[in-house]
């Protein structure tokens, strides 16, 4: 469909090659030429051309092969009547195009080729024309795709605008209904708050009246409670404990002695009683 990768069988440096290459380069298309330089006349030309065709035909990256040579005497072009060249062209899995000699020349290679043109320049022109036609086709398809896409975008835009209008209408309706519900709930909340405040005020007035009616009873009860707490606190006062006969012993560093392991023989013991303190020397401890 678009023969841009081209294998070329020709004699590099010949006028045929230069004419072909010039036409390809002037096209402006991105052709990729893989050239197999070979003899096209004289001894060994038959085997050289056939081998070049087979070599390029084995490649998987070529869209077509071209065999080109310029004009010459009829006996010089007889090379392309060889059976080996004809077999190589006919069995090639890649399309082969020939451009051999002048317009009046015709060889066996031309007969078995996929397409035969008159000259190397015509061969290049054929490829350029094929790629140009493909480019035009692609541009036309792209224009069609663009037109279809543009129409669909317009339709989608209209549908989107219509849906946006419907959403806006639904939104306004929903907001209006929400406002109505909010007003109703606000009224209920205000009414409930007023009732709660009125109830609280009544309860506060009743409590104030009760306090005014029984201030002495309340204070008396609280005083008794405080006396009970003071009595319980006095029971825990160390001073009262010492007056009851208890004593507190400390070592020479002032630490309270709670165990025989807290002191040692030879140390000093200070014992606090209700009316003073007693200093003793420790002679021993008994667990």
Average pLDDT, the chain: 89
Which pLDDT does position 72 carry in this prediction?
65
Which pLDDT does position 267 carry in this prediction?
87
Q: In what order do the strands lie in the sheet with 95-100?
A: 32-37, 5-10, 64-69, 95-100, 115-117
Number of Cβ within 10 Å of residue 101's Cβ equals 24
Which pLDDT does position 251 carry in this prediction?
87
Paired tokens of 153: 């975008």
Of these ranges, 34-43, 76-85, 119-128, 214-223, the one predicted with the greatest mean pLDDT is 119-128
Which pLDDT does position 278 carry in this prediction?
92
Contact between 107 and 117 under an 8 Å Cβ cutoff? The reply is no
Residues 6 or more apart from 164 whose CB is under 8 A from it?
Answer: none
Over residues 246-258, the mean pLDDT reads: 88
Residue 7 pairs with which residues in a beta bridge?
34, 65
- Pairing type for strands 95-100 and 5-10 reads unpaired
Contact between 39 and 13 under an 8 Å Cβ cutoff? The reply is no
DSSP character at residue 79: G
Range in 2-16, 146-160, 245-259 the model is least confident about: 245-259
CA distance 134 to 2: 6
User: Has residue 6 got a pLDDT over 90?
Assistant: yes
Contact between 41 and 99 under an 8 Å Cβ cutoff? The reply is no
Which pLDDT does position 123 carry in this prediction?
95
Residue corresponding to tokens 């010492």: 242
CA distance 61 to 261: 102
User: Has residue 105 got a pLDDT over 70?
Assistant: no
**Apex 104 CA angle, 102 and 108, nearest 5:** 90
DSSP H stretches of helix in 98-235: 108-112, 120-213, 215-235
Paired tokens of 188: 């209920």
DSSP-derived 3-state class of residue 271:
strand
What does pTM read for this prediction? 0.53
| φ, ψ at 31 (rounded to 5°) | -70, 150
Contact between 262 and 251 under an 8 Å Cβ cutoff? The reply is yes
Residues 6 or more apart from 117 whose CB is under 8 A from it?
Answer: 97, 98, 99, 123, 125, 126
Greatest Cα-to-Cα distance within the chain, rounded to the nearest angstrom: 154
Over residues 270-278, the mean pLDDT reads: 89
Categorize the per-residue pLDDT at 103 as very low, low, confident or very high, splitting at 50, 70 and 90. Answer: low
Over residues 245-259, the mean pLDDT reads: 87
Q: Which residue has the higher pLDDT, 43 or 160?
A: 160
Which H or E element spans position 67? strand 64-69
CA distance 17 to 127: 15
Over residues 267-286, the mean pLDDT reads: 89
Number of Cβ within 10 Å of residue 89's Cβ equals 27
Which pLDDT does position 71 carry in this prediction?
72
User: Has residue 232 got a pLDDT over 90?
Assistant: no
Which pLDDT does position 104 carry in this prediction?
66
């Amino acid at each position: 469909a678009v023969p841009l990768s081209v294998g070329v069988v020709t004699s590099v440096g010949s006028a045929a090659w230069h004419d072909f290459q010039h036409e390809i380069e002037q096209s402006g298309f991105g052709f990729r030429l893989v050239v197999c330089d070979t003899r096209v006349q004289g001894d060994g030309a038959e085997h050289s051309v056939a081998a070049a065709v087979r070599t390029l035909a084995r490649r998987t990256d070529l869209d077509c092969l071209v065999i080109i040579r310029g004009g010459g005497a009829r006996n010089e072009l007889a090379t392309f009547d060889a059976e080996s060249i004809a077999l190589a062209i006919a069995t090639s899995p890649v399309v082969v195009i020939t451009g051999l000699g002048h317009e009046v020349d015709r060889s066996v290679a031309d007969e078995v080729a996929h397409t035969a043109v008159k000259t190397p320049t015509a061969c290049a022109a054929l490829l350029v024309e094929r790629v140009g036609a493909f480019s035009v086709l692609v541009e036309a398809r792209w224009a069609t795709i663009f037109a279809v896409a543009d129409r669909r975008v317009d339709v989608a835009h209209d549908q989107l605008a219509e849906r946006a209008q419907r959403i806006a209408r639904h939104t306004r309706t929903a907001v209006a209904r929400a406002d109505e519900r909010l007003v109703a709930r606000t009224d209920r909340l205000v009414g409930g708050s007023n009732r709660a405040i009125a109830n609280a005020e009544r309860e506060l007035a009743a409590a104030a009246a009760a306090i005014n009616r029984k201030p002495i009873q309340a204070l008396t009860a609280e005083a008794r409670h405080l006396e009970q707490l003071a009595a319980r606190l006095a029971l825990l006062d160390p001073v009262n404990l010492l007056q009851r006969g208890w004593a507190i012993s400390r070592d020479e560093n002032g630490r309270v002695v709670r165990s025989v392991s807290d002191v040692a023989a030879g140390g000093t013991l200070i014992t606090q009683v209700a009316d003073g303190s007693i200093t003793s020397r420790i002679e021993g401890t008994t667990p």
